[in-house]
Amino acid sequence: MTWRATALTLFPEMFPGTLGHSLAGRALREGRWSLDALQIRDFATDRHRTVDDTPCGGGAGLVMRPDVVDAACAAALAGEPEGEAPRPLVYLTPRGRLLDQALARELASGPGVVLVCGRYEGLDQRVIEARAMREVSVGDFVLSGGEPAALLLLDACVRLLPGVMGGADSAEEESFSDPRGALLEYPHYTRPAVWQGRAVPDVLLSGHHAAVAKWRREQAEAATRERRPDLWARHAARQHETQD
């Protein structure tokens, strides 16, 4: 069964966007996943095709109407292939749980996703609750809409689908994938051996596999300790657990 993605958006032309030029784009053309973008405005019922309204209680901006968004959700979920589990509705919002590799893996292992992209101040809370949407953020910053966040989530999921990654185990070895504890990756080098007076570390040219592995492990640990004390603390706690 192909992994199916549907984006609900006011800007369907933003899909597949930059994804079309990457590994995910090739996988899309190869039929390893599918992508539809539905125009939310098509589900408005008044003659002005209104999708938003002023916030109750006052304040700046506009809120997307629950009835219009609900109708778009219903359309996306109608006609799911026979016998297939319903896809989760994922609403991209800075109020959501942070996207991480575990969530990408979870979503990639399911039937697909319906991605709800908000504009303006976002969705009316009632449709988020009524549709049991999973709220997901891609970072502690505010984008002008959910679309770039949705593309990012798709990229993270699609590269995990069977047959998408080029190298056999490259998806496994990378940062955050190591089930023993997420560390940042070690630095990479290629030829020439000396470039602008900078030499490739000797150990990488030594041919000693064990020494290379040890050096990479140390580099990964040092980078994580220095750059991401939050990840380092989690890693250290997990190491401690497994020793008990």
What are the angstrom distances between the C-alpha of 25 and each of 19, 32, 67, 158? 5, 10, 33, 10
Q: Which stretch binds ligand ADE (CB under 6 A): 106-114, 131-139, 175-183, 185-193?
A: 131-139
Minimal distance in Å, beta carbon 90 to ligand ADE? 10
Using the minimum distance from each CB to ligand ADE, give the nearer residue, 98 or 233.
98
What's the number of CA atoms in the CB half-sphere (13 Å) around residue 112?
Answer: 20
Report residue 5: phi and psi, to 5°: -120, 135
Minimal distance in Å, beta carbon 92 to ligand ADE? 4
What binding mask, one character per residue, do residues 81-110 give for ligand ADE by CB under 6 A, x or -? -----------xxx----------------
Using the minimum distance from each CB to ligand ADE, give the nearer residue, 72 or 153.
153
Q: Does 149 bind ligand ADE (CB under 6 A)?
A: yes
Q: Does 133 bind ligand ADE (CB under 6 A)?
A: no
Residue 140 marked ligand-binding: yes
| Rounded CA separation 241/244 (Å) | 5
Q: Does 141 bind ligand ADE (CB under 6 A)?
A: yes
Minimal distance in Å, beta carbon 146 to ligand ADE? 5
- 192 prior amide bond cis, ω within 30: yes
Exposure class string for 98-118: b at 16+ Cβ within 10 A, else e: ebeeebbeebbeebbbbbbbb
Using the minimum distance from each CB to ligand ADE, give the nearer residue, 9 or 137.
137
Residues 215, 219, 225, 227, Cα dihedral to 10°: 180
What is the chain's Cα-based Rg? 22
**Contact call for residues 176 and 188 (beta carbons, < 8 A):** no
| Rounded CA separation 177/232 (Å) | 15
Residue 142 marked ligand-binding: yes
Using the minimum distance from each CB to ligand ADE, give the nearer residue, 113 or 183.
113
Q: Does 1 bind ligand ADE (CB under 6 A)?
A: no
Binding site for ligand ADE (CB under 6 A): 92-94, 137-139, 141-143, 146, 149
Annotated binding site for S-adenosyl-L-methionine: 118, 138-143
